[in-house]
Amino acid sequence: MTDFAAIILAAGKGTRMKSDLHKVLHPIAGKPMLMHLLDTVALMGVNRIVVVAGDRREQLDQALEGRDVSTALQDPQLGTAHAALQAKSALEGFSGNILVCFGDVPMVRAETIERLNRAIADGAKVAVLGFKPEDRLAYGRIIADDDGTVRKMVEFKDATEREKTTRMCNSGLLIAHSDDLWPLLEAVGNDNAAGEYYLPDVATGAIARGDKVVVIECEPDEVAGINSRAELAEAEQRWQAARRAEAMADGATLKAPDTVFFSHDTKLGRDVTVDPHVVFGPGVSVADGVHIKAYTHLEGATLATGVQVGPFARLRPGAVMEENSFVGNFVEMKKATLGPGAKASHLSYIGDATVGKDANIGAGTITCNYDGYFKYQTVIGERAFIGSNSALIAPVTIGDDAIVAAGSAVSRDVGAGDLRMVRAEQLVKQGWADRFHDTMKKKKAAQKAGAQKK
């Protein structure tokens, strides 16, 4: 099998994004668009990856830390062919096919890249990726025979009126073997309207020397570039639509699909029901038979079989709900485990806690886990009952089958089977409220009379 490398061009300033964040680091479904592309390329068994940076290179270096990816600098920026050539030293000694693609075109599919690779294996010296958009705008054009053999590639501003009528447009992505790519890149000139070194001239140069160049066609959405916030939103919309369709095809019920938003790594089991207006942040795993009710937000949470969540619930990172547990409206969990069959039906905060099997958390219960400096654990035993409006002041342990009376502030451990009631003594002062109201009304009337005399 031929070795495979990728050059990802990400040197543009991204001025249309109007952002301090590098353009290719803006997220789609919670993951930077560059990482979408890197993960796709990784599926191809890539041997080497070079990201060509320019403006804000330090942001890219930081984002790529820990990945087996090199960066190269393009300065000054003289065009896409010039940018690709900056990766040559980072790929010194590499022999194999090289994909040249763009960091702001993140949705290209692995299958499409494989088709480009196969074209090289079948005898083409260069394979380019084309598409046929409804609105061809100012895309470069690919003039090709019916069998995909490319006769000419031309930028829109350099095209004749006849060439501009061509339906096949150039995505900019191409593949060539390293033995061919470097000489072709080095031969690219800048005799064009913009005075830039254009990447498509790699194909033009190959055609000029008699080499076979072919075009592989893909869907327009796959190679849609992202240059503005509006285009980023459109890419998010397309990604979400595809993910919703995938979820339903895999056996989940989405009652109002357009209102459900997934993260790039959301995992759903079969027979999961998702009500309207549910948002999945990163790191959520949902097992079979779970019901997630409306207006629930989940992030970094794990839900086992038969769990019910919501409506209006929030599960934060580290929330674990075991089999058949239940969280109701206006309940928040963070770094907490709710044991099998345990439930917190409404209006509670459960943080840094372990709740045992079949325990019941009453409305208004709070695990007071933070003293302003450190976090502490609350442990609630199996079948324990925590009465409404209770404050469990961590670190504290509530034993199996224990009961905490409603309205208690518990700061010491409660033994298994014990009742803990922590309340102030209720005093009754008969007539006190009536006397108070009379006194205050007279005082207010006197104050008003004095003001009128003035």
pLDDT, one tens digit per residue, over 243-284 is: 999 999 999 999 999 999 999 999 999 999 999 999 999 999
Q: Is 389 annotated as a binding residue?
A: no
Spatial contact of 256 and 248, defined as CB atoms under 8 Å apart: no
Q: Say which of 36, 82, 277, 346 is annotated catalytic.
A: 346
- DSSP per position, 77-132: ---HHHHHHTTTGGGTT--SEEEEEETT-TT--HHHHHHHHHHHHTT-SEEEEEE-
Phi, psi of 171 (to 5 degrees): -80, -20
Q: Out of 249-253, 421-425, 444-448, pick the least confident.
A: 421-425
pLDDT digits over 357-368, tens only?
A: 999 999 999 999
Q: Considering the chain, what percentage of its residues have pLDDT values greater than 90?
A: 86
* pLDDT tops 90 at residue 195: no
Q: Is 23 annotated as a binding residue?
A: yes
Q: Is 351 annotated as a binding residue?
A: no
Domain limits of the chain? 4-223, 242-420
Spatial contact of 98 and 175, defined as CB atoms under 8 Å apart: yes
Looking up tokens 């999961």, which residue turns up?
A: 272
* pLDDT tops 80 at residue 228: yes
* DSSP state, residue 16: G
Spatial contact of 297 and 281, defined as CB atoms under 8 Å apart: yes
Question: For residue 1, what pLDDT is reported?
Answer: 60
> Which among 265, 259, 303 has a CA at the least distance from the CA of 279?
259
| Pairing mode, strands 320-321 and 326-338 | parallel
Same fold, 4-223 and 242-420: no
pLDDT digits over 83-126, tens only?
A: 999 999 999 999 999 999 999 999 999 999 999 999 999 999 99
**What residues pair up with 74 in beta bridges, in sequence order?**
none
**Tokens coding 278:** 């549910």
> Which among 146, 145, 127, 130 has a CA at the least distance from the CA of 184?
127
Spatial contact of 10 and 104, defined as CB atoms under 8 Å apart: yes
Q: Is 423 annotated as a binding residue?
A: yes
The whole-chain average pLDDT of the chain stands at 94
Average of pLDDT values for 436-450?
91
In the three-class reduction of DSSP (H, G, I as helix; E, B as strand; rest coil), residue 430 is classed as coil
* pLDDT tops 80 at residue 194: no
Report d(CA 26, CA 235) in Å as an integer: 11
Q: Is 342 annotated as a binding residue?
A: no
Q: Is 316 annotated as a binding residue?
A: yes
pLDDT band at 322 (very low <50, low <70, confident <90, very high): very high
Report d(CA 306, CA 302) in Å as an integer: 12
Question: For residue 55, what pLDDT is reported?
Answer: 84
Question: For residue 454, what pLDDT is reported?
Answer: 67
* pLDDT tops 90 at residue 193: no
Neighbours of 135 (CB within 10 A): 7
- Catalytic, 26? Answer no
Question: For residue 239, what pLDDT is reported?
Answer: 97
Q: What distance lies between CA 409 and its chain's CA centroid? A: 40
CA distances from 199 to 94, 95, 171, 358, 434 (A): 20, 20, 11, 64, 88
* pLDDT tops 90 at residue 448: no
Looking up tokens 């224990």, which residue turns up?
A: 402
In the three-class reduction of DSSP (H, G, I as helix; E, B as strand; rest coil), residue 31 is classed as strand
Spatial contact of 130 and 153, defined as CB atoms under 8 Å apart: no
Question: For residue 38, what pLDDT is reported?
Answer: 96
In the three-class reduction of DSSP (H, G, I as helix; E, B as strand; rest coil), residue 133 is classed as coil
Q: Is 23 exposed, middle or buried (0-12, 13-18, 19+ CB in 10 A)?
A: buried
Q: Is 363 annotated as a binding residue?
A: yes
Neighbours of 8 (CB within 10 A): 28
Report d(CA 396, CA 379) in Å as an integer: 6
Q: Is 11 annotated as a binding residue?
A: yes
Overall CATH class of domain 4-223: alpha beta
Q: Is 198 annotated as a binding residue?
A: no
Q: Is 434 annotated as a binding residue?
A: no
- DSSP per position, 206-254: HHHTT--EEEEE--GGGG----SHHHHHHHHHHHHHHHHHHHHHTT-EE
Predicted TM-score (pTM) of the model is 0.88
Q: Does domain 242-420 have CATH number 2.60.40.180?
A: no
Q: Is 373 annotated as a binding residue?
A: no
Q: Where are the beta strands (DSSP E) in 155-212?
A: 169-177
Question: For residue 449, what pLDDT is reported?
Answer: 84
Question: For residue 89, what pLDDT is reported?
Answer: 94
Average of pLDDT values for 337-357?
98
Phi, psi of 69 (to 5 degrees): -135, 135
* pLDDT tops 90 at residue 2: no
